[in-house]
Amino acid sequence: MVAVKLRLATRFQRRFGAQVRVRVAKDWPARIRSVVALNLLRIIQEAMSNAVLHGGARSIRVVLRADPARHLEVLVIDDGSGLPETDDLLRGQGLLGMRERSQLIGGELCIRSSAAGTVLKATIPWRTAV
């Protein structure tokens, strides 16, 4: 997940001018399965793109944390305008893709949104991740 910090954060800051902060908690495992890492990376990438392109976010926080007895948790928190309250959004390809990626690796995806921004949380069982 170092790729998140080095590539995605830097690229988004340069390309979109959005401030991106990445925090990797001490309990995050040094190694996770490659299929899990790839899908989490793509979920983070899509969430950041949505935040900037659709929500006009200027600040994005990515938090990687773990409870070794239970799960990995990835949070993407932005200060954008939030998601529109329409059913059309539920059919959006980006959100659908993130949900499918999460399910593919045995996890769940939860999205909370308001006019103050959006919080995306992907939770992956520990036993599937490492």
Report the number of distinct structural domains present in the chain: 1
Domain that holds residue 59: 2-129
CATH of the domain at 96: 3.30.565.10
- Pairing verdict, β 117-125 and 71-78: antiparallel
pLDDT tens digits along 60-111: 999 999 998 899 999 999 999 988 766 554 556 888 899 999 999 999 999 9
In what helix (H) or strand (E) does residue 63 lie, and over which residues does it extend? strand 59-67
pTM assigned to the model:
0.90
